[in-house]
Amino acid sequence: MPVLWRRGWIMAEGGDFRLIGVTLEERAPQDHNHAIAREREIALYDLIENNFFKPLLSPGGPYRLVLGIEENRLVFNIQLANGEHHGTCILSLTPLRRVIKDYFTICDSYVKAIPDQPPSRIETIDMARRGIHDEAAFILQERLGSKICVDIDTARRLFTLICVLHLRG
């Protein structure tokens, strides 16, 4: 199916396959620190600005997504632009558990390195962080593949939001 670029998002011929809104469903919304809140807002903004999101067998959107975690499962509640329920996709978080842990560990190392490590060391840690983020995006893209087609940038931003859902404050 041909894919066309339109104003910062992708439109596949025959339908509008993009997210126009994303809400994180946090069981008890946390009072995140400023850095976490900023990462969350950047990921949400970037995701809405440029994404490809195509639930398989869907005639097209655009879509709104409510993303949450229930009982160690990632829940994608998909709605059409008018708020009508369009479907739900539930994935086990088990395949992502190790990479989420690694991602948090490397992010912590990065923050600790900033005050007293040379720029070359910080850059090395940041490259490792990006590598883990890419690995997670590929895993997420693969796991979603039989239900929802996303491009790699959309998968990266969704992974960032999944990490925000895992934070406990």
Structure tokens at 113: 């390195």
Structure tokens at 8: 């910062």
CA distances for 31 relative to 101, 135, 168, angstroms = 21, 29, 9
Task: Identify residue 118 by its one-letter amino acid code.
Answer: P
CA trace torsion 79, 168, 97, 27 (10° rounding): -30
Q: What is the pLDDT of residue 32?
A: 55
Residue 63: closest CA among 88, 38, 41, 96:
88
Task: Identify residue 148 by its one-letter amino acid code.
Answer: I
Structural domain tally of the chain? 1
Q: What is the pLDDT of residue 81?
A: 86
CA 105 to chain centre: 18
- Residue 39 scores a pLDDT above 80: no
- Residue 107 scores a pLDDT above 60: yes
Beta partners for residue 119, in sequence order? none
Q: What is the pLDDT of residue 158?
A: 93
Helix (H, G, I), strand (E, B) or coil at 87: strand
Record the pTM: 0.81
- Residue 28 scores a pLDDT above 60: no
Residue range 87-112: average pLDDT?
Answer: 89
Enclosing domain of residue 27: 3-166
Helix (H, G, I), strand (E, B) or coil at 113: helix
